Copies of this chain bind each other. A is one copy, B any other.
């Protein structure tokens, strides 16, 4: 990484992923090389529309040269209705190399900034209403790396996204509340007394995770009963290890039940496509993607991993070039 004056000298544009609760920003040169990276814990949930410009300047101001105007490309919740300014959802099917067509420019005071907020995607088919905002840019990153990509992508997380891509366009997508459901159950339900932190490198945890994936695949409707079963298993003398090992084992089981329910549902929705579309491209952090890869493998599906941060940066780059081409 470079000194401030060196960054300002070489800066070509700024990439920003601005979500509900934080932002990440990158300074890039004309060849797309990352000169600097920074972040902040102020996101949509804690900012009024008037506060965005000042926060952006606070975070990236040091990178900007004294004169001249620099492009800033922003994806995520900053473009939501409750964000800086709304960049309306583009309905699917949408080509991911053309997110720029839905970009909007917020009002600005500082003459050094030229900001574009990228749009999210929506799906309005009856019975399949869905939205994403931020993940489309990670998917665009996949297309930036593999133009015309066709296949299935999954972005695990709080609200896990599954997308079908055809020739570089999202044709359909589905969001599962999986990560949020896990966290609520593990931290705020009666199960919080039983659930610890798991480690899938531990053979006992791994076995508990995979057994749960298989069980819920075979009988998805029994999910709520199996949830309480975790509590009962902890209260009764059921041959589990004690202490932290028990909490870890039960956490692995809860994770397997919850991710397994998502995979069973996507299996229902996708049918043969899940098997036929080639490996699922998992986009996100390595540990969570590894967990999904294990579960998919247990169900007979292959996958590959694309780093989430690399993906969003590549997607913002694609949009940046798209916006430049529109000038």
A223 CB-CB contact with B under 8 Å: yes
Q: Nearest chain B CB to A77's CB is how many angstroms away?
A: 12
Please give, as numbers and ranges, the residues of chain B lying within 8 Å of A185 by CB-CB distance.
Answer: 177, 181, 184
Proximity bits, A174-199, B CB within 8 Å = 1, else 0: 11111011001100111100000000
Contacts of A233 in B (CB 8 A): 129
The answer on a CB contact under 8 Å between A180 and B190 is yes
In the docked arrangement, what's the CA distance between A189 and B179, Å? 11
Kindly name the residue among A228, A262, A266 whose own CB sees the greatest number of chain B CB atoms within 10 A: A228
If A129-B232, A131-B235, A232-B175 touch, whether A225 touches B265 (CB-CB below 8 Å) is: yes
Count residues of A near B (Cβ-Cβ below 8 Å). Answer: 47
Shortest Cβ distance from residue A175 to the other chain B in the assembled complex, whole angstroms? 4
Q: Which of A3-11, A49-57, A214-222, A312-320 contacts B (4 or more CB under 8 A)?
A: A214-222
Which of B131, B238, B267 is the one whose CB lies under 8 Å from A129? B238
The count of identical subunits is 2
For the complex formed, measure the closest distance between the CB of A200 and the CB atoms of chain B, giving whole angstroms. Answer: 20
Q: Check A159 against B236 for contact (C-beta < 8 Å).
A: no
- C-alpha spacing A159/B185, complex, angstroms: 13
What is the distance, in angstroms, from A219's C-beta to the closest C-beta of chain B?
Answer: 6
Whether a CB of chain B sits under 8 angstroms from the CB of A224 is yes
Contacts of A265 in B (CB 8 A): 219, 221-225
A-B pairs with beta carbons under 8 Å apart, 25 shown: A122-B236, A124-B236, A124-B238, A129-B233, A129-B238, A131-B231, A159-B228, A174-B225, A175-B228, A175-B229, A176-B224, A177-B185, A177-B189, A177-B190, A177-B191, A177-B227, A180-B189, A181-B185, A184-B185, A188-B188, A219-B268, A221-B261, A221-B264, A221-B265, A222-B265
Please list the residues of chain A having a beta carbon within 8 angstroms of any beta carbon in chain B. Answer: 89, 122-124, 128-131, 159, 174-178, 180-181, 184-185, 188-191, 219-225, 227-229, 231-233, 235-236, 238, 258, 261-262, 264-269
